[in-house]
Copies of this chain bind each other. A is one copy, B any other.
Amino acid sequence: MPNREQALAFAHENRARFLEDLKAICAIPSISTSAEYKDEVRRAAEWVAAHMQKIGLENVSVMDTPGHPVVYGEWLHAGADAPTVLVYGHYDVQPADPLDLWETPPFEPTVRGERIYARGATDMKGQVMASLDAAEAVLRSGGAPVNLKFFIEGEEEVGSLHLGKFIADHKDLLSCDVALNPDTGMLAPDIPTITYALRGLAYFELKVYGPKSDLHSGVFGGVVHNPAQVICELIAGMHDADGRVTLPGFYDKVLPLEEAERAELARLPMTEAFYLEKSGAPALWGEKGYTPVERTGARPTLEINGLYSGFIGEGAKTVLPAYAMAKISCRLVPNQDPADVEGQVRAYLEANAPKTVTWELKSFPGAPASLSRIDSAGVQALAKAQETVWGKRPVFKREGGSVPVVGDIQNILGVDVVNTGFALPDDHLHAPNESLHLPTWYKGIEALTHFFFEIGSRD
């Protein structure tokens, strides 16, 4: 018989070993966007599979996709009456550059103070391991009170390219009563948090071409429209003076915020001071008419993620560049459609790019936004688990980031997705010196242990 106290004791006693396991997986540079790291991505998948086997999951397998593999493992002995929880996660990570800004190497996990520093520590190897650690604790307590299925993918950081099809192709294998996505975060170490909305994503690479090769800026400067100047002019035109995105039709399908939800969001501690402190920016900015928490959670945005043209080395080079490149992404909210947004970017460029250049737009895989029901069984079980560990009810928030798979799980498997996770706003995810706050992580393992018992005991 599963025993909650025994499981919690196991989780507590095994903290040091859990940390060693986390270090091991974080040491593998599973950067999914770079072809050169393909073998490392597979190595991470195999590590996860071996770990699943070690903790007692069954039918473990590394399942190929046209891209990076999915790791699957299950434990289905809780009985026919017990609910089945499907846990989603990803073992791939963002690139680590700029490398020179890391205090310790990104793939040499290092504990300093209360944190572990490594690429992927918080996004989301730490969250995957917390889920597996909680499962291990539950299993070691005499068997879990729920049936467990884990599916951990390797392409989240490149937009979960093949996961939609994978879920559709494996509907029976992945069938469940509730899904858990621990790829979101908390507002602060003392504020347990449940995320009920995620923003979607549309991601583009724009190239603007001018002369057929780099030219001498003295010989041709003044008669050739500089592509770096043109790309700046195009980008500058993508926002108006009120911080609104000018792509034609961009806001047409945006679900307006209701007054009741605005009032709820206003109670969150994500004030202007919070964002100022967490970002270190000299002053905040954003769409006129919305508060910071509304701007990051409930309003769509357009960001420049990268910019390149000409000579960027040390010193001076008087080149008139042949082309310029920008990486541009939009965070989307319900009911925007990534494919619509691509059309809007093209329409904007067609209307605004001058005849002095040509351009090319490449689209990366996007995802729609998602919303979860706060009164669902899964969300309520997690709320109770968090209240037990932190001694207070969680807050409910919208998340500015994107987890493409959440929409797919909701739509294809027809179940509610519970979004949680123990990342904190200053974990520097996607940035140099990414880290994970260990005291919060240990609490997270405990909360997930409770969650498995809570949801199991509901039936």
**Interface residues, chain A, CB within 8 Å of chain B?**
33-35, 94-95, 97-98, 101, 157-159, 199, 201, 203, 205, 210-226, 228-229, 231-233, 235-239, 275, 278-287, 292, 295-296, 299, 301, 303-322, 324-327, 329, 331, 354-358, 364, 399-402, 425, 428-433
Docked complex Cα distance between A149 and B158 (Å): 63
> Do residues A315 and B33 form an inter-chain contact, with CB atoms below 8 A?
yes
Instruction: Choose from B34, B237, B278, B321 the contact partner of A315 (Cβ within 8 Å).
Output: B34
Give the copy number. Answer: 2
**Closest Cβ–Cβ distance, residue A419 to chain B (whole Å):** 13
Docked complex Cα distance between A279 and B321 (Å): 11
Instruction: Choose from B286, B306, B316 the contact partner of A223 (Cβ within 8 Å).
Output: B286
> Do residues A223 and B295 form an inter-chain contact, with CB atoms below 8 A?
yes
> Do residues B354 and A285 form an inter-chain contact, with CB atoms below 8 A?
yes
Interface CB pairs A-B, < 8 A, 7 = A211-B281, A214-B430, A215-B428, A220-B275, A225-B283, A233-B239, A317-B327
Residue of B nearest to A284 (CB): B223
> Do residues B281 and A221 form an inter-chain contact, with CB atoms below 8 A?
no
Instruction: Choose from B217, B238, B283, B325 the contact partner of A305 (Cβ within 8 Å).
Output: B217
Instruction: Choose from B295, B312, B356 the contact partner of A325 (Cβ within 8 Å).
Output: B312
**Closest Cβ–Cβ distance, residue A163 to chain B (whole Å):** 15
> Do residues B305 and A311 form an inter-chain contact, with CB atoms below 8 A?
yes
> Do residues A355 and B282 form an inter-chain contact, with CB atoms below 8 A?
yes
Question: Inside 8 A of A322's CB, which chain B residues have their CB?
Answer: 431
Known contacts A224-B284, A296-B220; is-contact A433 B305 (Cβ 8 Å) = no
> Do residues B310 and A309 form an inter-chain contact, with CB atoms below 8 A?
no
> Do residues A229 and B324 form an inter-chain contact, with CB atoms below 8 A?
no
> Do residues B33 and A314 form an inter-chain contact, with CB atoms below 8 A?
yes
> Do residues A305 and B327 form an inter-chain contact, with CB atoms below 8 A?
no
Question: Inside 8 A of A358's CB, which chain B residues have their CB?
Answer: 282
Instruction: Choose from B292, B295, B305 the contact partner of A310 (Cβ within 8 Å).
Output: B305
Question: Inside 8 A of A157's CB, which chain B residues have their CB?
Answer: 317
